[in-house]
A and B are shown apart, each in its own frame.
Chain A
């Protein structure tokens, strides 16, 4: 058994919905059967075999080679296995994913890991707006799993987030964790304006002070919190600097909010920043 490699033959003219190409969907399928799977692009459907060269037969470890930002819905709803995206990915990457591992060597578009249920998503580049959020009109965002972004993320990351962890090693846009219900978002870089807007519960753990904190967040003082080392230790199995930051993030300034709503969320800013 060798890993299944799907190589994009050329840059597509239109966006392609590649949701059917998951380990769950391709297990036990031959290269011919995979090639016959129809993918939606624009207002027509195209055979997978017309877009991708297909090698290997182990769908539990898939590689999307030569991927571009026009491939949407990569890993949508996947529950097992691994997808390794060599290149960029479009929007809705890992949407409603239930398990497994998704690694993107490049950057992704909007709504990455939206409504994620479980599993691990690692983005080596940047992520667009609404990372880990809910779909427009829905009220339940990411509900489990872990997302690591090595680069920067856009606005509204973690919108309506309910559980799980977003670990952002770069900078974030505005309204980080907006309308968050629970879960943890940790950021190493700079944070845009108004983090925690309308958050009910949940934790924003920031290594640097944000550009601006809403007046509806109340300063609770500086504290050494015992749960932070436990939380960061929990990321020990992942390749992230957060797992080694127990000491630098242990003492934090706590802001409680958003008092315009439930007010049981918190922004924890590393002390001394």
Chain B
């Protein structure tokens, strides 16, 4: 398959089941909602070492938020429900409760409930106030800038993590430009996040390592400087490879956003050094979700 002169490999991205949730952070203005959201989603690129994968889904207009203030929707994913609940609570407590003017709400009313303000309320030291509004419980926790308003719980659903594709280019700047174009288009798709820095991974990994302590190590088959040293997947003209990883609430969301991203990258074409699109997989051993590139782009 070839799109705009860019080869689409006959391979697939391999993704795995996760548990996910959406939370809504509001604040006095978008700037402070973003600050709270960015702080909460910091150090949340990969479950390998961060405990969860999190990112900003999109900014919300005041008309879309529970308290009528500007807000940000955040998606958080983890490998299990207990881990997700712990990560959400810890991050909410340290990053949103502490952030000036912020409030925190559920973005997924359905699903299995996990705590948001259920335990954070105890920060109020007995001065916290509960309010049940339209069947949902909220906590008003007195803090030094006024009150921290926080919904009791949010919903947790089954989700999919690890959707991905690789952009193979003739140079590092060209690979990055294609990734930026892809990410810009992908950020318009709901229900997904691209958790790595700027949405892009330059250190794609393979399972296992020659060092016993490591579960994963560099994906040497796609490292351009190792072309003559390992069983490479790269042709001579490829000088840089970058990966975009996607987590989403459903497999359909992943398929949709991968297509959008690949289309945007391919639009640059060989004239801008974009030569191939590939994907990371582990031979079907890692997860039950297989996203075949040629089927997605058909």
Residues of A whose CB lies within 8 Å of any CB of B are: 163, 182, 184, 201, 203, 223-227, 229-231, 233-234, 246, 264, 266
Contact = CB atoms under 8 A, between A and B. Distances in A.
Contact of A230 (B127, B146, B149): B149
Nearest to B27: A226
A229 B69 CA distance: 10
B127 A226 contact: no
Contacts of A182: 130
Contacts of A264: 126-127, 129
A243 to B, nearest CB: 12
Interface of B: 66-69, 103, 126-127, 129-134, 138, 140, 146-147, 149
Contacts of B127: 264
B147 A227 contact: yes
A266 B133 CA distance: 17
A224 B67 CA distance: 13
Contact of B67 (A163, A201, A223, A230): A230
B72 to A, nearest CB: 16
Contacts of A225: 140, 146-147
Contact of B134 (A184, A203, A224, A234): A234
17 contacts: A201-B129, A203-B129, A203-B131, A224-B146, A225-B147, A226-B146, A227-B138, A230-B66, A230-B138, A230-B149, A231-B131, A231-B133, A233-B66, A233-B68, A234-B133, A264-B127, A266-B129
B146 A229 contact: no
A77 B66 CA distance: 33
B68 A163 contact: no
A184 B131 contact: yes
Contacts of A266: 129
A229 B67 contact: yes
Contacts of B140: 225, 227
Contacts of A203: 129, 131
A230 B133 contact: yes
Given A227-B147, A227-B149, A246 B134 contact: no
Contact of B149 (A223, A226, A234): A226
B129 A226 contact: no
B146 A163 contact: no
Contact of B147 (A226, A229, A234): A226
B147 A246 contact: no
A184 B133 CA distance: 10
Given A230-B66, A230-B138, A264-B126, 18 more contacts: A163-B132, A182-B130, A184-B131, A203-B129, A203-B131, A225-B146, A225-B147, A226-B69, A226-B146, A226-B147, A226-B149, A227-B140, A227-B147, A229-B68, A233-B66, A234-B133, A234-B134, A246-B68
A203 B126 CA distance: 16
Contacts of A224: 146
Contacts of B146: 223-226
A234 B138 CA distance: 12
Give 5 nearest A-B pairs by CB, closest first.
A234-B133, A234-B134, A226-B149, A230-B67, A229-B68
Contacts of B126: 264
A201 B147 CA distance: 17
B133 A226 contact: no
Chain B CB count within 10 A is highest, among A163, A227, A264, for A227
B139 to A, nearest CB: 9
Contacts of A246: 68
A223 B129 CA distance: 16
Chain A CB count within 10 A is highest, among B126, B130, B133, for B133
Contacts of B134: 234
A230 B150 CA distance: 11
A201 B126 CA distance: 12
Contacts of A163: 132
B148 to A, nearest CB: 9
A239 B162 CA distance: 48
B24 to A, nearest CB: 12
A225 B68 CA distance: 13
Contacts of B133: 230-231, 234
A162 B43 CA distance: 43
A122 to B, nearest CB: 17
Contacts of B68: 229-230, 233, 246
Contacts of B67: 226-227, 229-230, 233
Contacts of A201: 129
